[in-house]
Amino acid sequence: MHEMSLAEGIRGIVENAAIAQGFSKVNAVVLEVGALSSVEIEALRFCFDAVMKGTVADGARMVVETVAGAGWCLPCGKRVPITQLYDPCPDCGSYQVQATEGTEMRVKALDVDSTAGSVA
């Protein structure tokens, strides 16, 4: 399950931010997850809770903001919405659509105790 390695990567980002910014408690981790990223959110949530135990983010909420999928249609020469990788262009039907948005996953922000402020 690659969600475990994703959760471990998030833990590393959180721990590095805690050291750099000097906070000791994270209340929430805000993630941007693309609709085309192949990340199983519930599996990631389970792994997140497991790997955050004993860290500054123990008990923190995982907030997910979904990024819609989009691609560049080569024949049309324009940006088009897509809901799955390898979807055809909704305008011309071509399968020459390169995904340009919605494949990413990143830590967008951390909500930390008010004594330490917020880190973005």
Q: What is the pLDDT of residues 29-68, one digit of tens each?
A: 999 999 999 999 999 999 999 999 999 999 999 999 999 9
Which residue type does 108 have?
K
pTM (two decimals): 0.85
Distance CA 110, CA 93 (A): 41
32 Cβ contact partners less than 8 Å away, ≥ 6 residues apart = 65, 66, 67, 104, 105, 106, 108
CA torsion 61-101-2-112 (nearest 10°) is -20
- CA-CA distance, 105 to 39, in Å (whole number)? 8
Better pLDDT: 118 or 40: 40
- Distances from the Cα of 102 to the Cαs of 11, 39, 55, 63, 92, in angstroms? 22, 11, 30, 17, 21
Which CATH fold would you assign to the domain 2-110?
Answer: hypothetical protein PF0899 fold (3.30.2320)
Query: Is residue 120's pLDDT more than 60?
Result: no
Q: How far apart are CA 25 and CA 72, in angstroms?
A: 41
